[in-house]
Amino acid sequence: MTIEQRPDLDAARPRGGRLPRKARRAQLLESALEVFAAQGYHAAAMDDIAVRAGVSKPVLYQHFPGKLDLYLALLEVSCDTIIHNCRQALLSTQDNKQRVAATMDVFFDYVASETGAFRLVFESDLTNEPSVREQVERVTTECAELITQVIAEDTGLPAEASHLLAVALVGMAQVSARYWLADESTTPREKAAALIAGLAWRGIGGYPRHD
């Protein structure tokens, strides 16, 4: 689904009764994601998010003091999601070829999500803000750290070399997945992810397993 195909962002959710604080926060984050993903940080307004959530601005400000606070909270959740999914992919099997495939699939599945959350992580228009840049870079850093451990344990390569290979794999996954989506490729997501996984495995699989 492209941005143009997304639901009308001017349509407010119906106002309901009081929600528990945790549920209200989750609702506000969901509405904020829709607005930020469609409009970007600079064009989005707290008014837009409040209307989208079906709440008053004072209610929104009770949970998030400002637009940057809201954006950072949403960005943290989005980054946590992809890092968690990467960790689960690595833990899903002891077969390294399948690990590579599962990890590549994480990134393709993430960018293909209709929520558009990947735009906050990989296409943020606020990376000049240190707190935002720190969150965005955390995806590469923490995913690479997870992969580094597997490479080092299996190949016996030094930590520095293992980390360089891990960063390369994460970069390959991110860039190829985003290109696949932006290019509106007719290649199905599963096949595209498998192609990149095959390329990655032909490279990393060439390092002998260390007993």
Which pLDDT tens digit goes with each residue over 128-171? 899 999 999 999 999 999 999 999 999 999 999 999 999 999 99
pLDDT at 10 over 60: no
> What is the structure's pLDDT at 21?
85
142 and 172 assigned to the same domain: yes
103 and 196 assigned to the same domain: yes
97-106: b or e for each residue (b if 16 or more CB lie within 10 Å)?
Answer: eebbbbbbbb
36 and 120 assigned to the same domain: no
Share above pLDDT 70 across residues of the chain, in percent, rounded to a whole number: 91
In a domain, 211, yes or no: no
DSSP 78: H
55 and 156 assigned to the same domain: no
In a domain, 1, yes or no: no
pLDDT at 92 over 80: yes
**What total number of domains does the chain contain?**
2
In a domain, 179, yes or no: yes
CATH of the domain at 134: 1.10.357.10
194 and 127 assigned to the same domain: yes
End-of-domain residue from the set 65, 89, 123: 65
> What is the structure's pLDDT at 172?
96
Q: What whole-number distance in Å separates Cα of residue 195 and Cα of residue 47?
A: 43
Smallest Cα–Cα separation from 108: which of 82, 133, 87?
82
Domain containing residue 58: 20-65
Q: What whole-number distance in Å separates Cα of residue 14 and Cα of residue 47?
A: 15
Smallest Cα–Cα separation from 167: which of 181, 189, 153, 151?
151
In a domain, 176, yes or no: yes
> What is the structure's pLDDT at 7?
41
In a domain, 124, yes or no: yes
> What is the structure's pLDDT at 124?
87
- Please report which confidence band the pLDDT of residue 4 belongs to, taking 50, 70 and 90 as the band edges: very low
In a domain, 119, yes or no: yes
